[in-house]
Chain A
Amino acid sequence: AQSVTQLDSHVSVSEGTPVLLRCNYSSSYSPSLFWYVQHPNKGLQLLLKYTSAATLVKGINGFEAEFKKSETSFHLTKPSAHMSDAAEYFCVVSGGTSYGKLTFGQGTILTVHP
């Protein structure tokens, strides 16, 4: 079984300040972990993924995430928020015998203030 917990349902930052979106996972297997972003009325877009290679993963638009097995975490960070980053972010896990089925967290809505 696998599950994901996104620790914050809403995060609000000012433009130019760092972003931290927290995610903890549970998996019986070595997981693959993803972050997807969904802008209003748009489809899901992959930001980055971890698949057992480097634990620090760099994604699009300056986002990165670090896989920490000891903490079962995969937090998403960005050094400097931009107005266009305002969206909903989903932490996702896959692995084991799940046929690639994705298990989504509940989502974190990021608001960026000017």
Chain B
Amino acid sequence: GAGVSQSPSNKVTEKGKDVELRCDPISGHTALYWYRQSLGQGLEFLIYFQGNSAPDKSGLPSDRFSAERTGGSVSTLTIQRTQQEDSAVYLCASSSRTSGGLSTDTQYFGPGTRLTVL
């Protein structure tokens, strides 16, 4: 079946512009995660969705970052007033609930969106 998809694959923007990154999880996966991969910081958690709710937003670096999920499926990560330090690869992952609990579930990752802020 289809895996996690993300769009666009690459995005180049100017400092101060807003950007939207999209994630389509695997069909039926109720849990959705956003991570960021940058040279200086490695891979970092941003936000977790269960259905359309976000119980954990602790990784969002500033109030310029926001995310939503609609219909328990597609998620959008929005970065307002982009800065050069926002340049990174943004990864989305989804997982399906098993009896073992969230921490045991396998997260399946998309290919990522490479964001470059000039």
> CA A100 – CA B106 in complex, angstroms?
9
Nearest A-chain residue to B35, judged by Cβ? A102
Q: Is the CB of B42 within 8 A of A101?
A: no
Q: A12 near B: Cβ within 8 Å?
A: no
> CA A98 – CA B104 in complex, angstroms?
11
Size of the chain B interface, CB-CB below 8 angstroms:
29
Q: Which B residues from 68 to 118 make CB contacts under 8 A with A?
A: 91, 93, 95, 100-112
Q: What's the minimum C-beta distance from A89 to chain B, rounded to whole angstroms? A: 12
> CA A107 – CA B101 in complex, angstroms?
26
Q: What's the minimum C-beta distance from A30 to chain B, rounded to whole angstroms? A: 9
Q: A51 near B: Cβ within 8 Å?
A: yes
Q: Is the CB of A100 within 8 A of B107?
A: yes
Q: Is the CB of B109 within 8 A of A100?
A: no
Q: Is the CB of A103 within 8 A of B45?
A: yes
Known: A90-B43, A101-B33, A104-B42. A96 touches B103 (CB 8 A): yes
* Chain A residues in the interface with B (C-beta under 8 A): 31-32, 34, 36, 42-46, 49, 51-52, 90, 94-96, 98-107
